[in-house]
A = this chain, B = another copy of it.
Amino acid sequence: MQTTATARQTPALRREDCLKCEIWNSELFPSRPVDLFEQITQSVEHLFFQPQERLYASGAGGEYVFSVRAGVVKLVKDLPNGGERIVRIKIKDQLLGLETLLKQPYHHTAIAITPVQACRIPVSLLKDLDEHYPGFHQQVIRRYQQMVDEADVFITDLSTGQSHARIARLLLHYFDDGLSEVWHHPAREDLASMLGITIETTSRLMAEFKRNGYINEENGRLSLRDVAALKRLAED
């Protein structure tokens, strides 16, 4: 399992590399003592996931928070009618499963969209850090704020208005920056599930955007060609 597409694309991280995780690199650990290193390397596991693989499942009692080191993870919730809706997208340096800090079961199912590398951090370690390092909780609060912000984007930008506007906003938000370097080829199903529309509508509109020269997709690589036009569409 170690010899994955991931391992070939990007050099495989080792357990020691978990120390490079953004959450330990904070100014909040001014004098990182040796025992902190030890504690981390002993309890944090570095894991690989293939596309479609689950990091955890909704409702499961969670003991771990995950930190994404490479790749893209979707957080999904099942719908009553059998489908599923994506509620957030997690990329490098973002944390998943923070609800376990409050002893709650996972609220979503976390699924790798691309090959993913992630650190699995025991809740007990985070609680230790919280006690010994005043100011560590600021990190957690900051990340919660990020989550709320992204949730608001999903509500206002991805769930409001007509579908061509929603797609334009999605493209601008997730494929105009470095994310497209990692998430080359979004599946129509995932786009649709982020927007609350059907796969067919998504496919039709993506095809139309291609025809109009707004976007491009060659050898499985999506890129934005006419950002101005997309911004115009996104306005309404």
User: A residues within 8 Å of B by Cβ?
Assistant: 77, 79-81, 85, 87, 98-99, 101-102, 104, 107-108, 134, 137-138, 140-142, 144-145, 147-149, 151-152, 154-156, 159-161, 196, 234-236
Contact = CB atoms under 8 A, between A and B. Distances in A.
Contacts of A152: 77, 87, 107-108, 151
- The DSSP consensus for interface residues of chain A is helix
A155 B145 contact: no
Query: Taking the full assembly, how many copies of this chain does it contain?
Result: 2
Contact of A145 (B99, B154, B160, B196): B99
A163 B77 CA distance: 19
Nearest to A142: B102
A155 B234 contact: no
Contacts of A104: 145
Contact of A160 (B99, B141, B142, B196): B196
Given A80-B235, A81-B161, A101-B141, A148 B151 contact: yes
A162 B98 CA distance: 31
Contacts of A160: 79, 85, 159, 196
A26 to B, nearest CB: 14
Max chain B C-beta neighbours (<10 A), residue from A99, A134, A142, A156:
A156
B155 A81 contact: no
A81 B101 CA distance: 39
A190 B111 CA distance: 35
A136 to B, nearest CB: 9
A102 B102 CA distance: 21
A92 to B, nearest CB: 20
A159 B161 CA distance: 11
B79 A156 contact: yes
For the complex of A and B, the 9 pairs showing the least CB-CB separation, nearest first, are A151-B151, A159-B159, A144-B144, A81-B236, A137-B137, A80-B235, A160-B196, A77-B156, A87-B155
A58 B161 CA distance: 21
Contacts of A147: 144, 148
B236 A80 contact: yes
A216 to B, nearest CB: 25
